[in-house]
Amino acid sequence: MARKKKELPLLEKITITDVAAEGKALAKVNDLVVFVPYVVPGDVVDLQVKRKKNHYAEAVAVKFHEYSPVRAVPFCQHYGVCGGCKWQCLPYAEQIKYKQKQVTDNLTRIGKIELPEISPILGSEKTEFYRNKLEFTFSNKRWLTEEEVKEDVKYDQMNAVGFHIPGAFDKVLAIEKCWLQDDISNQIRNAIRDYAYEHNYSFFNLRSQEGMLRNLMIRTSSTGELMVLLQCKIVEEGELDLMKRLLDFVAERFPQITSLLYVVNNKCNDTINDLDVMVFKGKDHIFEEMEGLRFKIGAKSFYQTNSGQAYNLYKVARDFAGLTGNELVYDLYTGTGTIANFVSRQAKKVIGIEYVPEAIEDAKVNSAINGIDNTLFYAGDMKDILTQEFINQHGRPDVIITDPPRAGMHDDVINTILFAEPQRIVYVSCNPATQARDLSLLDVKYKVMAVQPVDMFPHTHHVENVVLLEKRG
C-alpha cells in the first residue's frame, strides 16, 4: 500500500522580512526559514508550504493581508507565470540595494578576505527593453495558467510561441508582449505566430520530436541593425518551401531586417553550434559598436545581452587594469574578444583565450575590422592552454583580466595565475559567490583593492561584479 503523502501546513499572517537568493524572499517562522517567490519584505501573507526540510521550507503566497510599502506594481501581463523578471514587484532602487548586499555578503561570508569599501552599484539606465537578444520557442503544448484551468478555458489554438515554463520542459507560455527587448521583437514574433496560425504550420512537440517550427532568435543592436533567425525541422517534402514562404512574408513585412537567417535542425536539441546557418536575405551578421569599435555579431556569437551596461562594465575593467601602453595583458575567457579589443589601444599586447573555437574566429575578425594588430587569440580549454609552458613561451603578463562562466575558475587556472604573478588581476564575474571562492584562493599573493558591482539584468536577482587585485609587496 502506498504511503499517504503528508499534508503540508498553511502558515497564516506571516511577515516577509528579507530578500534571499535566486530572486526569492524569505520569512522566519519560529526556527524555520521559508523561501517565497513573488513577494517583497514587508508583505504580510498566508503561505502554503510546498516543500519542507528540517530547517527550511519553500512556500507560495496564497493570500495577501497587507502589501509592503516598498512594493511595486508589476508591469508585465505574464509576470508570475513566465518565470523571468521575478523582481518586478520591487522598485528598481530596492533591487539594486539588495544586489549590492548580495555582493557584500558573498565576498565577506564566502571569501573571508580583507576588503576595501565596496563602491555603490552601477545601475542600468534602461530597466525595460534592455536586452539585445531573445530566443523564443514554438510548441504545440500551450501552457495554461491556474486561472485558465479553473475556468476551463478552451483555446481554438493550442500552439504557442514564447518561453519555456520552469519545471515543464515541453510546455511554452504564449507571450503577447515581452518587456525585455525593443518592441520590434514583439511585432516580429507575433506576426510569425499569426502567419503560422493562418496557414496551419505545425509547431514542435518536444516529446515526440515532431513539428516544423522550433525556435526564433531575434538580435537587435545599438547601431539599429536587426537579426532574425528561424529554426525549423524539415523532414517532409514541401516543408522547406513552406519555411521559405514564411521567411518571404517576414522579409516583406519587416524590410528593416539586416540579417534574415534560417537553420534546418533535425536533431533532438535546439543548439545550433554544430549546424549550418543559411542566409535567406541580407547579411550573415550585424554590428555592435562601442567607443567607435565595431564588433561583428553572427548567429552563433556571444555578446553581452545588455549593450549599454556592457559598455559600463568594460570601462570599469579597463580603468581597474590601469594600462599605460606598455603592458602585456592576458584576457581569459575572452569570448569574441570584446574586452581584449576594447583595452588593446591602451596595451602593448593582448592575448585572449577562449574555449569556443567559433568565438575565437569572431575575435580575430573583430581585431581585423578595427585595424587592431596587437592581439593574439587561442582556442581551447582554459586549464589546458593556460599553463606554465604557455606563459614561458608568451611572456609573463603584467595584467590578467578574467571573465569566467558562472562556475568560476578551475583550480588549475588559479594556480597558473599564481605562477604567472601579474602585477594586477581584474576579475569580472557574473556570480559573486564563485568569485568570492576564487578570491580566497588568490589571497595568498593578492590583495583586493577595489570592488565595483554592475547591474546588467534589471528585475532579476543576477548581478555582475568587478574586482581589482594587486600583488602583495
Residues 6+ apart with CB under 8 A from 194: none
Indicate the DSSP class of residue 224.
S
Please tell me the number of Cα atoms within 13 Å of 389 on its side-chain side: 3
Task: Give kind and range of the element (H or E) at residue 44.
Answer: strand 44-52
Main-chain dihedrals φ then ψ at residue 396, nearest 5 degrees: -70, 130
403 labeled part of a ligand binding site: yes
236 labeled part of a ligand binding site: no
Mapped onto helix, strand or coil, the DSSP state of residue 41 is coil
Nearest in space to 130 (alpha carbons), one of 172, 183, 75, 91? 183
Q: pLDDT tens-digit profile of 180-194?
A: 999 999 999 999 999
| Residue 331, Cβ density class (10 Å: 0-12 exposed, 13-18 middle, ≥19 buried) | buried
Distances (CA, A) of 146 to 63, 81, 151, 152, 288: 15, 9, 9, 10, 41
Nearest in space to 218 (alpha carbons), one of 167, 173, 181, 249? 181
Predicted structure pTM score:
0.92
Angle at 309 between CA 221 and CA 187, to 5 degrees: 35
In the beta sheet, which residues pair with residue 354? 379
354 labeled part of a ligand binding site: yes
Nearest in space to 98 (alpha carbons), one of 372, 458, 470? 458
Q: What is the pLDDT along the chain (473 residues), one digit of tens a residue?
A: 455 567 888 999 999 999 987 889 999 998 899 999 999 999 999 999 999 988 899 999 999 999 999 999 999 999 989 988 999 999 999 999 999 999 999 999 999 999 999 999 999 999 999 999 999 999 999 998 877 777 777 788 899 999 998 877 789 999 999 999 999 999 999 999 999 999 999 999 999 999 999 999 999 999 999 999 999 999 988 999 999 999 999 999 999 999 999 999 999 999 998 999 999 999 999 999 999 999 999 999 888 999 999 999 999 999 999 999 999 999 999 999 999 999 999 999 999 999 988 889 999 999 999 999 999 999 999 999 999 999 999 999 999 999 999 999 999 999 999 999 999 999 999 999 999 999 999 999 999 999 999 999 999 999 999 999 999 98
Place of cell 543559411: 278
CA 340 to chain centre: 21
Give the three cell numbers for residue 87.
523582481
State how far the Cα of 243 lies from the Cα of 102, in Å rounded to an integer.
46
333 labeled part of a ligand binding site: yes
| Residue 321, Cβ density class (10 Å: 0-12 exposed, 13-18 middle, ≥19 buried) | buried
Mapped onto helix, strand or coil, the DSSP state of residue 217 is strand
Per DSSP, helices labelled H in 322-380 are: 338-343, 357-369
Main-chain dihedrals φ then ψ at residue 376, nearest 5 degrees: -130, 140
State how far the Cα of 295 lies from the Cα of 225, in Å rounded to an integer.
12
**pLDDT computed for residue 3 by the predictor:** 58
Place of cell 571562492: 437
Q: Give all domains of the chain, ordered by start, each with its CATH number.
A: 1-71 (2.40.50.140), 94-126+306-471 (3.40.50.150), 133-290 (2.40.50.1070)
Active site residues: 430
One-letter amino acid at 293 equals L
Count other C-beta atoms under 10 Å from residue 152's C-beta.
7
Mapped onto helix, strand or coil, the DSSP state of residue 72 is coil
In the beta sheet, which residues pair with residue 350? 329, 375
Give the three cell numbers for residue 63.
493570500
